[in-house]
């Protein structure tokens, strides 16, 4: 009886040893695979996390209008002057969205705007289309016939100056509202500037035939 028990005990010990070797071998094999699997999971998680962060930044940001070139004060905004850029912010951005491009085109810069500047409403002024009874008249002024800081969008008063037979000069005011529509840079040699004026037809008729036309800037 004792011998049978001892024999069976030996069988049990052999089986346990075999099972232990199997488990240990499996753990050794897993010991090789687990780090590789963990690294793979880490890479996948990093990619997913980065994609989510990028998506969140896109969702939380806004596409805005930015100037593609330097706009001088009074310059009229054209389609080629605008580009768009995505700006991310956790707070409300007081900039013009890219969807406002059609409204911005045709407006004028209220002051000099460097290239690459995000636009806001305060940087632009509206230009109303010509109304009934209005037209555009072009004149050339010398450096002494108009203010140096005159720009498109400025309201001006027209003063006509005519020489008299006795050598004196007579100044007269041309009635009606006049606005600078466009003005060129001063000529490098003479300093003369070409000015396009927005005038009523009555004012335009009064501009003809004078020796000189002077522009006085009006501050409203």
- The whole-angstrom separation of Cα 38 and Cα 45 is 10
pLDDT confidence of residue 25: 52
- The whole-angstrom separation of Cα 80 and Cα 39 is 49
pLDDT tens for the chain, 220 residues long, are 444 444 444 444 454 445 445 544 554 455 445 555 555 545 555 555 555 454 554 455 788 999 999 998 888 899 999 999 888 765 566 888 989 999 999 888 888 899 999 998 888 888 778 888 899 999 999 999 999 989 888 899 999 999 999 999 999 999 988 999 989 889 999 999 999 999 998 888 999 999 999 999 998 7
What element of type H or E holds 26? helix 2-60
- The whole-angstrom separation of Cα 205 and Cα 143 is 24
pLDDT confidence of residue 76: 87
Tell me the helix, strand and coil percentages in the chain, rounded to 5: 35, 30, 35
CB 210 within 8 A of CB 137: no
pLDDT confidence of residue 196: 93
Give which of 214, 209, 203 is closest to 150, Cα–Cα. Answer: 214
A 10 A CB-CB count for 12 gives 10
Write the CB contacts of 5 (distance below 8 Å, at least 6 apart in sequence): none
- The whole-angstrom separation of Cα 110 and Cα 74 is 6
- The whole-angstrom separation of Cα 136 and Cα 199 is 6
- CATH number of the domain located at residue range(s) 61-125 in this protein: 3.90.1210.10
Strands of 134-141's sheet in order across: 134-141, 193-200, 169-183, 155-163, 212-218
A 10 A CB-CB count for 107 gives 18
A 10 A CB-CB count for 156 gives 21
pLDDT confidence of residue 24: 47
- The whole-angstrom separation of Cα 196 and Cα 8 is 116
Break the chain into its structural domains and give their ranges: 61-125, 134-218
The class level of CATH for 134-218 reads: mainly beta
């Amino acid at each position: 009886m004792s011998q049978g028990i001892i024999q069976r005990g030996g069988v049990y010990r052999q089986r346990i040893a075999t099972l232990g070797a199997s488990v240990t071998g499996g753990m050794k094999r897993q010991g090789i695979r687990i780090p590789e699997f963990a690294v793979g999971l880490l890479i996948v998680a990093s990619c997913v996390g980065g994609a989510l962060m990028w998506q969140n930044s896109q969702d939380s940001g806004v596409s805005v209008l930015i100037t593609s070139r330097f706009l001088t004060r009074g310059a009229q905004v054209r389609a080629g002057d605008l580009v768009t850029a995505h700006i991310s912010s956790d707070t409300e951005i007081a900039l013009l969205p890219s969807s406002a491009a059609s409204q911005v085109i045709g407006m004028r810069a209220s002051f000099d705007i460097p290239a690459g500047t995000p636009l806001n409403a305060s940087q632009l002024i509206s230009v109303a289309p010509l109304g009934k009874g209005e037209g555009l008249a072009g004149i050339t002024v010398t450096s002494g016939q108009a203010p140096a800081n005159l720009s498109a969008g400025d309201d001006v008063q027209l003063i006509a100056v005519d020489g008299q037979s006795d050598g004196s000069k007579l100044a007269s005011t041309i009635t009606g509202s006049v606005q600078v529509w466009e003005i060129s840079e001063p000529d490098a040699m003479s300093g003369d500037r070409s000015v396009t004026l927005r005038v009523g037809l009555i004012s335009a008729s009064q501009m003809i035939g004078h020796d000189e036309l002077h522009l006085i800037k009006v501050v409203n």
